Amino acid sequence: MATYYFDNSATTRPYDMVIDLMAHIMSEEYGNPSSLHRMGMEAEGYVRTAREQVAKAMGASPEEIYFTSGGSESDNTAIFGGAYKGRRQGRKILTSCIEHPAVLESFARLKEEGFETVLLPVDKNGVLDMEAFDREMDEDVILISLMHVNNETGVIQPVEEVAKKKGHALLHVDMVQSFGKLPIDLHGALSGVDMASISGHKIHGPKGTGALYIRRGLNIRPFLVGGGQEKGLRSGTENVPAIAGLGLAAQTIYINRERKNEHLREIRDYMRGWFEENVDHILLNSSEDGAPHILSISFEKTRGEVLLHTLEQSGIYVSTGSACSSNKKGQSHVIKAMGRTDKQVEGTLRFSLCDSCTMDEAKFVCEKTKEAVERFRRLGSFR
Ligand SMILES: Cc1ncc(COP(=O)(O)O)c(C=O)c1O
């Protein structure tokens, strides 16, 4: 059976050349970058190249890039590091209620430690409520963490506006879903951002790899101590093959980005239009000006989980909301925050695209989704 993989916000298939490079490093050039001999220097060279590739893709300098085990670790490191750094100036930290659990759980823990945490609301389109932000912004705020693109809806958040209003607070941005899709220029349009997280497996790189951008001159408390790798921020022997794979993926994803985004937008808009025309009682959770690769739709009077498994029987892979949490059955806090009812949230499916998705595949996915929705509604098993 053919595979229709429309779950690229959960994870992506690594590029063939990433797999080849990683296999080569693992089998032939397996030195430790800290070793003084030739094999060590070769390994160090791979890490250096990857740092340059990631820095270039983010519009940053190589010395501002720290490799981590992924988006979650980058988020944790930035948030705990940023909060501890500022605790003498204030104890208030702000985020939005639609963040990834890696951010929300970090905030929950900091609350237990005595920080004043504020989870800002979003409007019905899923965009941060700037009036609430303005109300909460005061001298006591030391850290703001805001995602760039929401992983369930693709909605773009007003990061640049927040950066202008951040005052003396540090601004951390989770760019896990925007990196590789939107232009990221941390020395340009996004120069107000102090720390930014990315993840390798969302851009056709390996899982368990990511990076944290930390603006030059900003020092935060390391999470892992030991041998002092990553300039003391993250001790432990570098995962050289994964880091090299991340670097190559970061470089490759931005080649012909404009053209690739047009392709994604064409497919996403086709699917949106098709569903609007051919399936009754649906609610769109993604906006036209959102990231081009995500389309979230609530099919009323259905259950997303049942639709997902029905589609799977035709080789189609999608998500109900986010697959990034082990709490697979939990209701989406993101769609709920947009003011949807529990029943609407329950019927939500997220289709997420990558460059190799085709229009023919999208047409098949649309037809099969309609069949699944109608079957569910006909059987009337929804209460
Ligand atoms: C917005 C966002 N932040 C953080 C993460 C966590 O990244 P990772 O899986 O690399 O830990 C994800 C995805 O899982 C995500 O979509």
The stretches of the chain forming alpha helices (DSSP H) are: 16-27, 38-58, 71-86, 101-112, 130-136, 159-164, 240-253, 257-278, 304-312, 333-337, 342-346, 359-379
Annotation marks residue 97 as catalytic: no
Q: How confident is the model at residue 171 (pLDDT cuts 50, 70, 90)?
A: very high
CA angle (351 as vertex; 349, 355 as ends), nearest 5: 175
CATH class, domain 4-12+257-379, is alpha beta
At position 161, the amino acid (one-letter code) is E
Distance from the CA of 138 to the center of ligand 1, in angstroms? 29
- Which residues' Cβ are closer than 6 Å to ligand 1? 70-72, 75, 100, 102, 147, 151, 174, 176-177, 199, 201, 210, 324
Cα(1)–Cα(135) distance, rounded to whole angstroms?
A: 54
- Indicate whether 323 pLDDT > 90: no
Q: Residue 383's pLDDT is what?
A: 44
> Which atom of ligand 1 lies nearest, measured to the CA of 199?
10
Nearest CA to ligand 1 atom 15: 176
Distance from the CA of 36 to the center of ligand 1, in angstroms? 35
Cβ atoms of residues 12 and 201 within 8 Å: yes
Distance from the CA of 42 to the center of ligand 1, in angstroms? 30
Domain topology for 16-253:
Aspartate Aminotransferase; domain 2 (3.40.640)
The answer to whether the predicted template modeling score (pTM) of the entire model surpasses 0.75 is yes
Q: How far is CA 338 from CA 72, 77, 128, 149, in A?
A: 24, 28, 10, 15
How do residues 93-135 score in pLDDT, each as one tens digit? Answer: 999 999 999 999 999 999 999 999 999 999 999 999 999 999 9
Cα(32)–Cα(17) distance, rounded to whole angstroms?
A: 22
How do residues 34-76 score in pLDDT, each as one tens digit? Answer: 999 999 999 999 999 999 999 999 999 999 999 999 999 999 9
Average pLDDT, rounded, for the chain: 96
Domain positions in the chain? 4-12+257-379, 16-253
Distance from the CA of 334 to the center of ligand 1, in angstroms? 14
4-12+257-379 matches 16-253 in fold:
no
> Which atom of ligand 1 lies nearest, measured to the CA of 207?
10
> Which atom of ligand 1 lies nearest, measured to the CA of 147?
1
- Indicate whether 326 pLDDT > 60: no
Nearest CA to ligand 1 atom 7: 71
Q: How confident is the model at residue 322 (pLDDT cuts 50, 70, 90)?
A: low
